[in-house]
Each structure stands twice: as structure tokens, then as C-alpha cells.
Amino acid sequence: MSWIVYHNNRCSKSRNAVQYLTEKGIDFTTVEYMKSPLNAEELTQILSKLHMKAEDLVRKNEAIYKEEYKGREMSEAQWVEAMVKHPSLIERPIVIHGDRAVVARPLEEIDKL
């Protein structure tokens, strides 16, 4: 089963997850979702593996969240579309192994996979 890390190189937590997997000798694929944004179907599949609602994956300290989304009642599909439109809203790093996934905060979450 392959490992995938949805990674933002500008994020220290994301860089730490990549280093953690490397040090453990785990072979993984890196997806830099800020450079190659996810589509709604991909993000929905990731949410299914995380067993999370879309709103729970949103980074609520981001300026774009505070400016455009804070306090709004939105459907699951609307939250997915917001994250597709603004990938910076996606909490990171997301680590997937097979049909399971975690948001690697803290890093030890990876060990659950």
C-alpha cells in the first residue's frame, strides 16, 4: 500500500511530517497541493478517508477564512468548493496510507496508520 503526503513546503508542520516519514524509512509520494490544487472529487475522497466533515478540515486562522467564510452556514459541498478555490484553507499535512488518513498534527498521528 502506498503512502501519500499532501504537503505545503512553506509549512513547518508539513516539512516535519515529510522528515518523519523519511526517517522511518517509509517510501511516500508527495502532493504539493498548493502548486497542483485538488479538485472537489479528490478532496471529498480525502475527507472520507479522514472520517471528517469538510468544515473540520478548514484552517480557521487563515485570512481568507476570516474575510470570506467565518460565521457562515455552509453545506458540505460548499466547504469543499471553498477549499478547492482556496487551497490554503486545507489543514495540513494530510498523510494517507491505503484507505486511511490522518491530519499529522501532532506528528505522532502518523503512527495510527
From the candidates 4, 11, 52, 74, give the one annotated as an active-site residue.
Answer: 11
For 9, half-sphere exposure in the C-beta direction (CA atoms, 13 angstrom radius) is 5
Catalytic residue status for 1: no
Per the DSSP assignment, residues forming a β-bridge with 102 are 95
Q: What is the Cα–Cα distance from 105 to 91, expressed in whole angstroms?
A: 9
Distances (CA, A) of 101 to 16, 44, 74: 17, 12, 24
DSSP assigned state of 45: H
Residue 108 CB neighbour total at 10 angstroms: 10
- Which residues carry out catalysis? 11
